[in-house]
Structure 1
Amino acid sequence: MDAHRTGFMIDGRMGRLRSITQRAVDLLVYVVMWFAAFSAAQAVREVFTFVPGFVPWNGESPHGFFTAVGTASGLAVLALFTTLGARTISARAAAGRLVDGMGLRPPVSVRQALRWATVGLVAAAVLWAMAELVLHVPGLTSVPAAEDPRHAAVAQTSTSIRFCYGLIAPAPLEELVFRGPVLALWLALLAAQQRGSWIARRWVRWWLMGTAIAASVTLFAADHTLGGSANVAHAAANAVITIAVTLWQRSLFPALAAHGLYDACAFAWG
């Protein structure tokens, strides 16, 4: 009896160890693929250096493009070999989890696509109104265009190129970095709640989400100090709005649409 019980306990511990190891490998693959997606988004921004008439204003360069493409490819290969070596999850399944966790699954119906587009348009309008509002808040300052080191390069780039750049270059990169992890955490907590895990307890869930949202807003605002305190305040408002839209729709697409439309209009005519 004692030997049987001891064997049962050992088997249980080994099972838990294998489960922990599997989850650790899955998390590692997920993180590596997220960095690969981040590098691919960086390449999208850098590719504009090959567009005739584009004058870099955010440090874009052909070297940066090839570096980003190489990094994304290398990380994708690393994730593939990790999944093959660990044999706990297939590369296809890992990619699927990344797409789901980042809210990058395409709309399943025309109705959903229209809803996301509508939410994105409304959010873009709110962002534009917020940008106009913060300029009138006492105590906030903005850097005049003539003093902005990016102004000369922007002025030399045509309106159509500036519009296209704003539409597709900054938003994917920034949404993946600042909103993607918050959404992934929220979806993971919802899944844990369905499993009845302790981590999904209300106070734990809201503490984790509050910390993640505060960190995302703070980091995003800190990344926009070049335009003065008004730009920092608007960036913080931008982060709050896009996070709310992302968590509400459980997808990055509405936030991508709002962010891209706002940046496109701001870069072209702002």
Structure 2
Amino acid sequence: MATQALRDAFVFVPGFVPWNGESPSRFFTLVGAGAVLGAMAVAVCVGNTSVRAAAGRFADGLGLWPASMRQALRWAAVGLAAAAALWAMADLVSYLPGLTSVPAAEDPRDVAVAQTSTLIRFGYGLIAPAPLEELLFRGPLLALWLALLAAQRRGSWMARRWVRWWLTGAATTASAILFAAGHTLGGSVNVAHAAACAVTTTAVTLWQRSLAPAVAAHGLYDACAFAWQ
């Protein structure tokens, strides 16, 4: 909810032309709903644990904050490499036979982007889509992977390699299909690249056991695509 509100906050930036449903009313609705849920969380946590401790466990569980400068640099390097891979795949996918793309003059994204400054487009691409999409689509996969690793340490039947890889593979496939299905705007080329993006960011997330490199890669790719497509 917070990431969606951050995305919608761009409607208050002078010169921004919304194309993805952003509006002041939705921004205030999300902020209000977030405040209500936050108050409920505080009420539930009173006497059990602090909100700060709960937030810390959430951030640590999804790898949203590096434990050291070395880890931060590693995540940054992995994110940059993954962003470069996404760019390479975007070029390769466009050459696949049978795929179609929507002309820039007819694509509502390109029409809106053409009316907004390069700096705003870059900032929107960097901040708006990636955190929300990675949290929704790669977050559950990371949680599943960490749960399976914990089961392995406990000696559970889920520790068996075939069970672990089958569950992860099925969840990854389902997530990639859903992610690709949400990117039909732009034609089948965009759908194919979204599927490749889902597989790449999932691999990075599970490898590093963190959402941070995937968010960085996704954000950098979107920022450059929005600013200089």
TM-score by length of 1: 0.80
Other-structure match for 2:110:
151
What CA RMSD, in Å, does the superposition of the two structures yield over aligned residues?
1.5
Q: Which moved more, 1:133-142 or 1:198-207?
A: 198-207
Deviations 1:196-217 (A, max 9, x none): 2333333332222122111110
Q: Which moved more, 1:71-80 or 1:223-232?
A: 71-80
Residue of structure 1 aligned with 2:56, choices 84, 93, 96: 96
Asked if the contact 1:221–1:233 (Cα under 8 Å) also holds between the matched residues in 2, the reply is yes
Indicate yes or no: 2:70 matched with 1:111.
yes
| Count of paired positions | 229
Q: Secondary structure at the match of 2:97?
A: coil
Does residue 55 (structure 1) correspond to residue 14 (structure 2)? The answer is: no
Alpha carbons 1:42, 1:173 under 8 Å: kept: yes
C-alpha distance in 1 between matches for 2:150 and 2:36 = 31
Q: Contact (CA 8 Å) 1:102, 1:181: kept in 2 or not?
A: no
Deviation at 1:112, TM superposition (A): 1.4
Higher relative contact order (CA 8 A, sep 6+): 2
Q: Report the Cα distance in structure 2 between the residues aligned to 1:165 and 1:230, rounded to whole angstroms.
A: 22
Alpha-carbon separation, structure 2, partners of 1:196 and 1:76: 37
Q: Is the 8 A contact 1:221 1:235 kept in 2?
A: yes
Q: How many angstroms does 1:90 deviate by? A: 4.9
Q: Tell me which residue corresponds to 1:227.
A: 186
Moved more, 238-247 or 71-80: 71-80
Q: Corresponding residue for 2:133?
A: 174
The equivalent of 2:222 in structure 1 is: 263
More displaced 10-residue stretch of structure 1: 159-168 or 70-79: 70-79
Are 1:247 and 2:206 counterparts?
yes
Give 1:172 deviation, angstroms. 0.5
Is 2:43 aligned against 1:81? Answer: yes
| Partner secondary structure for residue 44 of structure 2 | helix
**Partner Cα distance (1:128, 1:82) in 2:** 44
- C-alpha contact (below 8 Å) 1:54/1:161 kept by paired residues: yes
What is residue 40 of structure 1 aligned with on the other side? 2
Amino acid of the residue matched to residue 117 of structure 1? A
The aligned counterpart of 1:160 is: 119
CA contact (8 A) 1:225 1:232 kept: yes
Aligned-residue sequence identity (percent) comes to 74
Return the letter of the residue paired with 2:54.
A
Q: Return structure 1 stretches of 4+ with deviation > 4 angstroms.
A: none
* Stretches of structure 2 lacking an aligned partner (at least 5 in a row): none
Which is worse superposed, 160-169 or 202-211? 202-211
Post-superposition offset of 1:81? 2.3
Shift of the alpha carbon at 1:119?
Answer: 0.8
Indicate the larger mover: 252-261 or 72-81: 72-81
Looking at structure 2, the residues matched to 197 and 96 of structure 1 have their Cα atoms a distance apart, in angstroms, of 27
Deviations 1:138-158 (Å, cap 9, x if unpaired)? 001111111112332211101
Alignment-mate amino acid for residue 228 of structure 1: G
Q: Cα distance 1:102–1:164, how it changes in 2: closer, same or farther (>3 A)?
A: same
Structure 1 residues without counterparts, runs of 5 or longer: 1-38
Aligned mates of 1:109, 1:169 — CA distance in 2: 26
**What are the within-5 Å matches in structure 2 for residues 135-150 of structure 1?**
135-150=94-109
Q: Distance in 1 between matches of 2:227 and 2:140?
A: 30
How far the C-alpha of 1:45 sits from its partner, in A, is: 0.3
Give the structure-2-normalised TM-score.
0.94
Q: 2:148 and 2:127 mapped to 1: Cα distance? A: 30
